[in-house]
Amino acid sequence: MSVFLDHASTTPVRPKALEAYLEALAHLGNPSSVHAHGRETRELLEQAREKLAKASHCDKSEVIFTSGGTESNNHAIKGIYWQRQLDRPRKYIISALTEHHALIDPIEWLEKHEGAVPLWLPVARDGQPDLVVYEDWLAKYGDEIALVSLMWVNNETGAIWDIPGIAGLAKQYGIPVHSDAVAAFGHIEISFQDSGLAAMSISGHKLGAPIGVGALLVARSQKPISIIHGGGQERGLRSGTMNYPHALSLAIAAELAVGDMAEREARLEGLRDSLEASLLAAIPQAQKTISGPRIGHTSSFVLPGVQSDSVLFLFDQHGISVSAGSACQAGVLGASHVLLAMGYSEAESSAVIRVTLGHSTTQQDIDLFTSSIAEVYATALKAGLNR
């Protein structure tokens, strides 16, 4: 029997989202066409926009459909940065080195090609940012800061940050804030209209939609410069034929994820706590990667004396899928850049395991994982000593 405990990388498509996707595929028409077929598919697209707007508490005009979280982040970071240069130069971008590479890499691209200057916010071992430094930077560089871009929930550790509070501090200086909410949306209470954000990224396959769809929520007050040019679709921010089947599946998945969130997350937190208790009983020297606020379905540990790749391989031999961090870094299982940025050593950052639960996770999945822990660790420890 196979066990999937890597839901932060992707999660099974929800049946109703798949059904909506397949039904939409049966409709013929380009949503930009003015004839009856086009109007029919445009109606499906706008239904999706309204559903996602309701689930995320924003105006439907603020929903921009994309291919996923990475594209959304690039639109927000580059688009807002360029827009902020129009009246006068603003070179600074506040972010953190614990972010997903879908944020770090666009910022570093702007640094290399556009002269941006990243200000990387320090993050403590409890997983929380140094807000004293953040406030100092706002006060010192306020007029020169183009934007702030920070994740709401860290995809590796599950750390939850106070994004509304961070946005509120930036608002005092008129600085727009973007948040990658890919690991947060559908798992914790989120209201875009109350968050104070200028933009927020969502990815469908983390919620139970097919891979290849996401959204960028953009406040009506914001006019980021587009990185894609063509027909001017999606408020002129994302040109191209609009993908109404994927958009509808995303909207349905988001609706379901938000609808069953309280019950599901409480159940998953209970399963996670059971898993962690068993892991610590089997490996007393293991340590949780954070002690601060975290998401209910994520568990991240440092297992001293082993290498992450060995642990993942051995669990895979037992038919159990877990990870060491972001799937976007698959094949590059070196030290976790997230843990390194939090002050962990190279050895500790190379010995991390991430277990993430999802809507399809059962008690049996947890039992099969915990029954393998001791054997996997002992074998990985032996392999580590022989390196």
User: What is the Cα–Cα distance from 348 to 353, expressed in whole angstroms?
Assistant: 11
Measured in degrees and rounded to the nearest 5, phi and psi for residue 302 equal -95, 125
Pairing status of strand 92-95 against strand 145-151: parallel
Between CA 97 and CA 381 the distance in angstroms is 29
Burial group, residue 89, by CB count within 10 angstroms (0-12, 13-18, 19+): exposed
Quote the longest CA-to-CA distance of the chain.
69
Return d(Cα 89, Cα 146) in angstroms, integer: 8
Active-site option among 97, 211, 227, 328? 328
Please report the DSSP string for 83-138 in residue order: HTTTTS---EEEE-TTS-HHHHHHHHHHHHHH--EEEE--B-TTS-B-HHHHHHHH
Give first-to-last CA distance, the chain, whole Å: 31
Task: Tell me which long-range contacts 39-44 makes (C-beta under 8 A, separation of at least 24).
Answer: 41/244, 42/244, 44/244, 44/245, 44/247, 44/248
Classify 298 as helix, strand or coil. strand
For 149-167, the DSSP string reads: EEESB-TTT-BB--HHHHH
Per-residue CA distances from 64 to 58, 86, 109, 183, 267 (Å): 12, 23, 23, 18, 32
Q: Let me know if 328 is a catalytic residue.
A: yes
**In the block, which residue shows the tokens 């993430």?**
356
Measured CA to CA, the distance from residue 252 to residue 256 in angstroms comes to 6
Cα separation, 319 vs 190, whole angstroms: 35
Q: Which amino acid is at 290?
A: I
Catalytic residue numbers read 328
